Amino acid sequence: MTSESTDPNPRSCTHKDFIRLFLEAEKDLLRYVMVLIPNVADARDVVQEAAVALWDKIDLYDPGKPFAPWACRFALNEAKMFLRKKSRQNRLADEVVDLLEIERMENADRLDARKDHLRECLRSLPSKNAELVHDYYFNELSVEELGKRFERSIDAIYKTLQRVRQTLHACIENKIQLEAKL
């Protein structure tokens, strides 16, 4: 008799396996959650909550299938609960959230392909803009800190960030169009 067979709650996935699967899927889960919750710190809290829920339900997971698509439903569910708890009035309506949740999953492959292009587009940014988005997204500097560092108003920093995102979006579009032509 092996030690596993004495476990009153035999699981198809050990804790170690789960950690590995979760770490692999973590970035994708955050991307799913951030469709509804743009604040990265909040999104991380939500994904952490989702991790607990996932571990509770891990017996339902079929190891023969990819983990991330299965897990993302939990993450999105946690995200919706988070939004309800916050009960902020200036948030998206529930029916829109449901639509976005469905379409996010339907568009997973398309958005993954866009993400690959984003990596290239990021490299073609002018150095000043690249430095700014790097400080904002990677170093997680606040807009106030960025304002001081770049000697610009907070509003100007927000505007630049918006502009850079739009430049990156346009760059991705171009790459996709070019790909389609080839």
How is 127-177 classified by DSSP, letter by letter?
HHHHHHHIIIIIS---HHHHHHHHT--HHHHHHHHHHHHHHHHHHHHHHHH
When the beta carbons of 1 and 23 are compared against another protein, the nearer one is 23
Q: Please tell me the chain's helix, strand, coil percentages from 3-state DSSP, rounded to the nearest 5.
A: 80, 0, 20
User: Any contact of residue 134 with another protein (CB under 8 A)?
Assistant: yes
Separation of alpha carbons 104 and 35, rounded Å? 8
- State yes or no: residue 153 binds another protein (CB under 8 A): no
CA angle 102, 58, 11 (to 5 degrees): 155
Which range binds another protein by CB under 8 A, 6-14, 55-63, 66-74, 101-109?
101-109
Any contact of residue 152 with another protein (CB under 8 A)? no
131 binds another protein (CB under 8 A): yes
Q: Are 157 and 132 in contact (CB under 8 A)?
A: yes
CB of 82 to another protein, least distance (A): 13
Name the token pair of 28.
């994708």
Give the residue with the Cβ less far from another protein, 2 or 142.
142
CA distance 10 to 7: 5
Between residues 6 and 95, which has the closer beta carbon with respect to another protein? 95
Which parts of this chain interact with another protein (CB under 8 A)?
22-23, 26-27, 30-31, 34-35, 38-40, 43-44, 47-48, 51, 89-93, 95-96, 99-100, 103-104, 107, 111, 114-115, 118-124, 126-127, 129-131, 133-134, 137-141, 158, 162-172, 174-175, 178
